[in-house]
Amino acid sequence: MVNPPHARPRTDSPARSAPDSAPRLAAVLLCLSLAAACGQLPRPFQPEDKSSNDLLYLADRSGILVRPVGRDAPGDPAAAAELLAAALRARNLAASTRDANGTGQILRGRATVQRLPSGRDEVLLSWELAEATGALVGRTAQRSELSAGAWQTGDPATLDRMMDRAAEAVAALVQDPAVERPGLAGFAGARLVILPMRDLPGDGALSLPRALGHELDAARLPLADRAGGGDLLVACTVSLGPPREHLQEVRITWTVTRAGDGLELGRIDQQNRIPAGSLDGPWGPAAHGIAQGAVQGIRALVERLDRRA
């Protein structure tokens, strides 16, 4: 059912006499805005290396050449790459840090470190797996919250744990066709880039983009931390109404634009009434509920644009 853009249906939560629980924003209304119409969407809201010659692991095209992590690299990028290659081999994937024959696949990673208000570090690892010819196989990303400096100093336990997690995600791209990332319909090679979120109440500027990145990754949608010309940018604004009878109106708008020319492709609106002040502190599970709904809307928007093309 398509509704006029100014006649959006809404589902308001019943009033609560004692608003002492986290807001249930997973059930917020979603409205997808495209051109002059919007429609309601469904409501959710170092493993030990036992090899004596790792060059043997690149005997054919199934081998993966692991490059050292770039950008905010760990203390010993080469050691991290060796850990990742070993973790991939532990998952029955031929992998090495040495280029034996110039064929196979190449795994490149990039790290971005951000200091959190708590004094800890958030590390985003973005991975891209490609054929030697340059053809993209898939992308994946992982976020981790670590003790300050643990990544940059190359703490062995931290590197071991994170490279093991990375190997799990990379193995999924290669071994299980059901979880390969098919890309964005109608936008060949495009990735989603989450723009910084500012002026959000509580810890929303940190927790909401983190939750959205997690949910986009879980949905196997292509994700990047820096935009290229054909990528899609995801921006978010949050507005709160005045408290009334212990409740407060919240409206969240997601805008999707094209990186190259700034063309707005569509909007996803979420709104509900929540216990007043619920978002003034940590968002907690509410951030993931909102992000889940946003991912539904982004996917539907892209699919609708593809049908109209």
pLDDT over 70 for what percent of the chain?
74
CA distances from 275 to 20, 60, 242, 246, 278 (A): 8, 59, 11, 6, 6
54-179 has CATH 3.40.50 classification: yes
- CA dist 60 and 100 (Å) reads 10
The pLDDT of residue 175 is 64
**Position 48 pLDDT exceeds 50:** no
Q: How many CB atoms lie within 10 A of CB 55?
A: 13
Please state the rounded mean pLDDT for residues 71-75.
Answer: 77
The pLDDT of residue 45 is 38
> Looking at per-residue confidence, does 63 or 206 come out higher?
206
pLDDT digits (tens, 9 = 90+) for 21-47: 333 443 344 555 543 233 333 333 322
What is the chain's mean pLDDT, rounded?
75
CA distances from 258 to 12, 187, 194, 221, 224 (A): 33, 10, 12, 16, 14
> Looking at per-residue confidence, does 244 or 19 come out higher?
244
> Boundaries of CATH 3.40.50 in the chain?
54-179
pLDDT category of residue 56 using cuts at 50, 70 and 90: very low
**Position 207 pLDDT exceeds 60:** yes
Least confident of 2-16, 93-107, 154-168, 169-183: 2-16
- What's the sign of the alpha-carbon dihedral 150, 154, 158, 164? positive
The pLDDT of residue 240 is 93
- Please, which residues have CB within 8 angstroms of residue 293's CB and are 6 or more apart in sequence? 25, 26, 28, 30, 41, 43, 44, 45, 268, 270
The pLDDT of residue 221 is 85
Please state the rounded mean pLDDT for residues 205-217.
Answer: 86
The pLDDT of residue 10 is 37
DSSP characters over 250-283: EEEEEEEEETTT--EEEEEEEEEEEETTTTSS--
The one-letter amino acid code at 151 reads W
pLDDT category of residue 49 using cuts at 50, 70 and 90: very low
Structural Rg of the chain based on CA atoms: 22
- What's the sign of the alpha-carbon dihedral 97, 100, 103, 104? negative
> Looking at per-residue confidence, does 14 or 241 come out higher?
241
> Boundaries of CATH 3.30.160 in the chain?
2-45+182-308
The pLDDT of residue 249 is 93
Which helix (H) or strand (E) covers residue 160, if one does? Answer: helix 156-175
pLDDT digits (tens, 9 = 90+) for 226-274: 888 889 999 999 999 999 999 999 999 999 999 988 899 999 999 888 8
**Position 54 pLDDT exceeds 70:** no
2-45+182-308 has CATH 3.40.720 classification: no
Please state the rounded mean pLDDT for residues 40-55.
Answer: 32
Structure tokens at 153: 């100093």
Please state the rounded mean pLDDT for residues 123-135.
Answer: 84
The label of the residue with tokens 């990742």 reads 84
